[in-house]
Amino acid sequence: MVFALAWVSGSGFALGVGSQVGPLGTATGPLPSIPVFAAIPSGPLDYGFVALVLPVLAGILAGWWFLREGENHFDEWLSIKIDARWFTATVSTLALGALVGVVSGLLAAGLAWLARGSAGLGRLTDIGPDPLWMGLWIAAEVGIGVVIGYAAGPWLERQQHVYEEVELAR
């Protein structure tokens, strides 16, 4: 699952020294005849970049969830200190995106560190995702998604209330 997360994030993973498997392309050297290696696509993937949307979608859902379920005390504190609502809403939304992005990036980097290892001698001494790159990619993608989900949440909630009112009027 960690390898799949690394692939979807865009950072990819290594299957040997000098190889890289990711949604934007695959470059591997000769691999041993292990059946699971046959599932690895080769060369550039035409629509592989679409996989990069999945962590952003997860962030959008998290941002919307935080809007619905959480209390934003940082936003309340800022609005007490500063009168410009457009500024406080923007800063608190960006702070939430950065916080959730950093936490998810650190967790992903920890999982990548645990999944990294060696499967033998020679080329197979470097197998798994790079913790630094996986953490950075996940942090950026999820953080951007949280900002979008938190900012679009009031609009989504308003649309839902409009549909409920239409159903009640019938």
Q: What is the mean pLDDT of the chain?
A: 87
Q: What is the pLDDT of residue 154?
A: 82
Instruction: Kindly provide the b/e burial profile for residues 76-97, where b requires at least 16 CB atoms within 10 angstroms of the residue's own CB.
Output: eebbeeeeeeeebbeebbeebb
Instruction: Tell me: pLDDT of 51 over 80.
Output: yes
Cα 136 to chain centroid distance, Å, stands at 9
Give the other-Cβ count within 10 Å of 101's Cβ: 24
Q: List, for residues 63-83, the tens digit of each pLDDT value.
A: 999 988 878 888 889 989 998
pLDDT digits (tens, 9 = 90+) for 98-112: 999 999 999 999 999
pLDDT for 159 beyond 80: no
Rounded distance between C-alpha atoms, residue 29 and residue 92, angstroms:
47
Answer yes or no: is pLDDT of 162 > 60. no
Per-residue pLDDT of 78-100, as tens digits, reads 989 998 888 998 999 999 999 99
pLDDT of residue 165: 59
User: Helix (H, G, I), strand (E, B), or coil: what is residue 27?
Assistant: strand
pLDDT tens-digit profile of 11-34? 989 887 888 888 888 887 777 777
- The pTM for the full model equals 0.84
How wide is the angle at C-alpha 40 spanned by C-alphas 36 and 44, nearest 5°? Answer: 175
